Amino acid sequence: MNNIVCVSFPLPEARSRLLDDLSGTYDFPVALEPCTQEVANDTIAALHWAQDSSETIERHLCRYGALLLRGFPVRTPRDFAHLTEALGWPNFGYEASGGNAVRRNVVGDRVFTANESPPDKVIPFHHELAQTTRYPHRVAFFCENPAMRGGATPLLDSGNAYARLRSEFPEGLAELQKKGVRYTRVMTVDDRPHSAIGRGWSDTFGVSTPQELEAKLASSGDKLEWLRGAPS
C-alpha cells in the first residue's frame, strides 16, 4: 500500500488557531478521516495505512498539537493497541512511571482506562504525569462505548495558553520560569475511591512498606515528609 494521507474535514467543536509562522490558521484539533473505503472498513488495511503514514502523522502532531482520527475501524482496546504500534510509538508503562495520581484499569498491553474517578468529580486541564520525572511524549485516547450524554474529552492548546500567559501576565510567567514549579501531594496509604486523585502511596508507587517508599522516592529525586511520623 502506498503512503496514503487521510483527508481532513471540518469539526464544529474545533477552535481556529494561528500558526506560529503566520502562514495561516488551523483547527485544533485537526480532524482526519480515511480517504479510501478499504482503510475505513478493514482493520488490517487501517494498520497498514498507519504504518505507511506514521511520518506524516508525526509531522501533523508536531505542527498542530492534536489530531482526531474519525471513521477508522478501531473497535476494541486490542485494535487501539495495534494502531499505536503501527504508528511506531513506544510503549509507556504507567505503573513503572511512579506518581500516577488517578486509578486506572489495565485492559491490555499499552492500554489503560483513562480515569476511574467518580463521575461527579471534575478533572482539570493538565499535562499527563507532569508531576513526575518520567512522562509520555504522546497521549492517545480511544472511545470504546460512547456516553449517552456528555462524555466529551476537552483539549487545551498549551501553546496558545502559553502565548496568552506571555501576553496578559508577563511578570507572573517570568516568575514561574525563574523559580519553576513544585508539586506537593498529600497521600494516605490506602486508596480513596471517592476522590478524583484517590490512589494511596502503596498503590501509586507499587510498594508495601514505608521503607520501600522512601527508597523509591530517594532514587527518583523526590522528597518525602511523613506528616504524622512514618508508619511502622
Position 3 confidence tier, pLDDT thresholds 50, 70, 90: very low
Q: Is the pLDDT of residue 230 over 60?
A: yes
Query: Which cell numbers hold the place of 212?
Result: 520501600
CA neighbours closer than 13 Å in the CB half-sphere of residue 217: 18
Which own/partner contact pairs does 134-143 have at CB distance under 8 Å and 24+ positions apart? 134/96, 134/97, 134/98, 135/97, 136/92, 138/61, 138/89, 140/80, 140/84, 140/89, 141/114, 142/74, 142/77, 142/80, 142/111
Q: pLDDT tens for residues 46-71?
A: 999 999 999 989 988 988 889 999 89
> Could you give the CA distance from residue 138 to residue 40 in angstroms, rounded to a whole number?
24
Backbone angles phi, psi at 101, to 5 degrees: -75, -30
138-148 confidence digits (pLDDT tens): 999 999 888 88
- Mean pLDDT score of the chain: 82
If one compares 105 and 204, the residue with the highest pLDDT of the two is: 204
